[in-house]
Chain A
Amino acid sequence: MPRADPSLPAAANPPGRGPKLRLNLHLLGPLLALILLVVLGASLNGNFLSPANIANVLARSSFTGIIAVGATFVITSGGLDLSVGSMAAFLAGVMIMVINALVPQFGVGFGVIAIGMAVGLVLGALAGVGNGLLITRGRIEAFIVTLGTMGIFRSLVTFLANGGTLSLNFDVMDAYRPAYYGTVAGIPVPVIVFALVAILGELAMRRTPFGRHCSAIGSNEQVARYSAIHVDRVRLLTYVLQGVLVAVATLLYVPRLGSASSTTGVLWELEAIAAVIIGGTTLRGGYGRVWGTVIGVVILSLIDNILNLTNVVSPYLNGAFQGVIIILAVLLQRSRRATS
């Protein structure tokens, strides 16, 4: 098996890996789009490059960013997870309920918050196991399984909130606030967590057997199976990793507004998938890069930010502006490859 490993990613890579110049242009596509967007933002508004604005944008990106890192692995191995947004809402709801229920007994303190966090992480992992087992053991398409669980999680949070909003106990909120609003050496906590997740993700994708197996399975499942890769186990792991990362994002989301409702995390799954694709991962699987995903997430957040900082585009055309930028960002890398 170890001998089979190095040969697989090479087979997995699309023919774009040609001469060095083309490779660079392909690699730099998303980065180029990001730079163009930053130049556009800076020329439209003087506050765009202010530290406060940059901190805001990056902190906001962290939720979908952390989720998108997980989605990179799922998509690279040829899977798909549509349930992440609903799962985040559900986990946030349960965390809030657990913390609120514990406060009368244990009082307000870090212990209660830690228990809430642990419950969130365990539930997130279990939700991932559920998705993963249905896909690998149940032999159902990932699209159908996660479409189903997407509806289930969304309904569950609506049910738990009785159709309204679950709000975190006010005193706990004060203790928990720093997890989103706090800074370490001037950098917001969620940005630090996002960066750590991204770096670990990039290392896992490039330097571990797990990452290489993901590419191999996404590229050709049959070949991967013949190469003695435990296809089902690796698949299952990608969904568990996705579930845990959704939980990590939720841990940072809850202290922001201290509430969860049926509108929490709506369309996060599409944002995460879009970020992954903008970043250069192929939707049909086989090739993924985590750093590209990070750039994709930041591009998506910057579009919203620029629209809010200017009056250039009529608010009615926000969606069109987003669509154009997303397509352009992908066009920048793909057109180079097509002509090669």
Chain B
Amino acid sequence: MRFRHMLMAAAAVTAMALSPSAFAQDKTYTIGVSVPSADHGWTGGVDYFAQQTIASLSKTYPNLKFVLATAGDPGKQASDLEDMVATRNIDALVILPGDPDALTSPIMRVKKAGKFVTVVDRKLSQPGVEDLYVAGDNPGLGRTTGEYFVSRFPDGGNIVVLRGLPIPIDKERVDAFNQAIANSKIKVLASQFANWNRDDGFKVMQDFLSRFPKIDAVWAQDDDTAIGAIAAIKQAHRENQIWVVGGAGMKQAIKQVMDGSKLVPIDVGYDPGMVGTAIELTALKFETGLPMRGSFIVRSPLITQANAAEYYHPDSPY
């Protein structure tokens, strides 16, 4: 009796090894997804695309189970990981760490427990922890924007820069931007933190407008900040002298680019949908058995009137 069971098990293992698809259908896998809560527009987009991707993957692959957790701070996110490993018995983790430095060691513990780990968007402080890294291109965002400014100002121009929060992402973008415009005649009059936020964009831009009589363009780095800056420019009736470039690809900004606005001529993408890319690739690791370990960098594309439709997601909250 016992011997017969063992034989059957051996046969089953052989069958699974021979055909990856049969292997996938038999076993159930649980993928934990941990993302920051929707505390601003971009993370709102992240949550939306995570939910969308999970819904469509659950339909396509009934043997995949998902656990989605949103966390408002690093402490909560670390606890979420512990719960996922201890009580939900996950096979893989997809995580967009709110604070990558603080979450490096909790993620390492998940990795040590033998789980497949996918890290999204932000680099951990230790190299080689994650199996798969899916991220946006921050220096690319700065460089692409800088190159566009250079192309618009062959004879020089006066610009102001509204930065994000004082964290590495912002620095990578600004450094690449400054490098791209280094050999041009563009003059950066001033730069100040506007925290990727509409109200702060409005305030800082108001002050820049009263400080500088001649501004030709604004790099707001973020579409929310750009909306605030545009309101200030309109209040000062200078919308015919200044144009504004945001960033990240918010639907309202892309709509304006699509409609050929002079005030918002282009946008540069930094798509929150990258979390969906990460979940899909992780799911495919289990469904196909194909190699999925490595890095996947989602480009920061230049969005112009010609290609704006491709990046327009009217249903997304972002």
**Which residues of A are at the interface with B, using a C-beta cutoff of 8 A?**
45, 47, 50, 52-53, 56, 60, 158, 161-165, 167, 181, 256-257, 259, 261-264, 266, 304-305, 307-309, 311, 315-316, 318
Kindly list 18 other residue pairs between chains A and B, CB separation below 8 angstroms, not including A165-B44, A316-B166: A163-B44, A164-B317, A165-B41, A256-B202, A257-B202, A257-B231, A261-B41, A261-B44, A262-B40, A263-B41, A263-B197, A263-B198, A263-B224, A308-B192, A308-B204, A308-B207, A308-B208, A309-B210
**By the criterion CB–CB under 8 Å, are A257 and B207 in contact?**
no
- Distance in Å from the Cβ of A297 to the closest Cβ of chain B? 14
Q: Please give, as numbers and ranges, the residues of chain B lying within 8 Å of A165 by CB-CB distance.
A: 41, 44, 224, 317
Residues on the B chain within 8 Å of A163, using CB? 38, 43-45, 47-48, 317-318
List of B residues within 8 angstroms of A257 by Cβ: 198-199, 202, 227-228, 231
Closest to B228 in A: A257
Q: Does B296 lie at the interface of the complex (its beta carbon under 8 Å from any beta carbon of A)?
A: no
Asked if B26 is an interface residue, CB under 8 A from chain A, the answer is: no
Q: Which residues of A contact B207 (CB under 8 A)?
A: 53, 56, 304-305, 308-309
B197-220 interface (Cβ within 8 A of A): 197-199, 202-204, 206-208, 210-211
Choose from A60, A259, A266, A308 the contact partner of B211 (Cβ within 8 Å). A308
- For A261, the chain B residues whose CB sits under 8 A away are 40-41, 44, 198, 224
A171 CB, min distance to chain B CBs, angstroms: 16
Most buried by B among A50, A261, A266, A309: A261
- Give the complex CA separation of A208 and B1 in angstroms: 94
Chain B interface residue count, Cβ-Cβ cutoff 8 angstroms: 37
Distance (whole angstroms) from the CB of A50 to the closest CB of chain B:
6
| Interface contact A264-B210, CB-CB below 8 Å | no
Out of B44, B210, B236, which one reaches A161, CB within 8 Å? B44
Distance of A56 Cα from B41 Cα, bound (Å): 26
Contact A304 B235 (CB under 8 A): no
In the complex, the answer to whether A304 meets B190 with C-beta atoms within 8 Å is no
Q: How far does the alpha carbon of A259 sit from the alpha carbon of B193 in the complex, in Å?
A: 21
